Structure 1
Amino acid sequence: MEDTAADIASLSFEDALRALEDVVRKLESGEVPLDATITLYERGEALRKHCQARLDAAQARIEKIVAGPDGQPAALQPFDPETGR
């Protein structure tokens, strides 16, 4: 059963990743007919985009704790993945 875009959008990251892994296993098996391969590929691409969007959203929420002069947490700053800080 193929998921619609709305069905995929409602999946958690973990569920979407499991579904994507299932698609990859089926495609790698080489036993899927051509038409089904195309459908599976399209579903896999939709699942990949969903997973990437979930990861991007999580990364945007990550903040680092900045210590003040007394060593205690003083502020929160966005995490910069480019510098790792």
Structure 2
Amino acid sequence: MSDEQIPVSELGYEKARDELIEVVRILEAGGQDLDSSLALWERGEELAARCTEHLDGARKRIDAVLGDGDGAGADRG
């Protein structure tokens, strides 16, 4: 991971997802001191939330295009 991290709020979905995968890999490998592990965990939480924001936004856009802003269109047949 880079020492100069881009603010999570500026990351697109793919970059946030890729960085989250890397954070998980590093944490699972172990060997980090407590402070580093906590900082990685916190970054991972922010990245996960950012990914969720992107996915929620994509769902809203799809629903808007389908003309179904409440998400009930899944029963269409």
Alignment TM-score > 0.5, same fold: yes
- TM-score if structure 1 supplies the norm length? 0.71
CA distance in 2, matches of 1:17, 1:2: 17
Q: Percent identity?
A: 35
| Consecutive unaligned residues in structure 2, runs of 5 or more | none
**Aligned partner of residue 74 in structure 2, secondary structure:** coil
Q: Tell me how far 1:77 sits from its aligned partner.
A: 3.0
Aligned positions of 1:1-85 closer than 5 A? 1=3, 3=5, 7-63=7-63, 65=66, 76-78=67-69, 80=71, 84-85=74-75
Higher relative contact order (CA 8 A, sep 6+): 2
Structure label with greater radius of gyration: 1
Cα RMSD over matched residues?
2.1
* Number of aligned positions between the proteins: 72
Higher-helix-fraction structure: 2
Q: Tell me how far 1:58 sits from its aligned partner.
A: 0.5
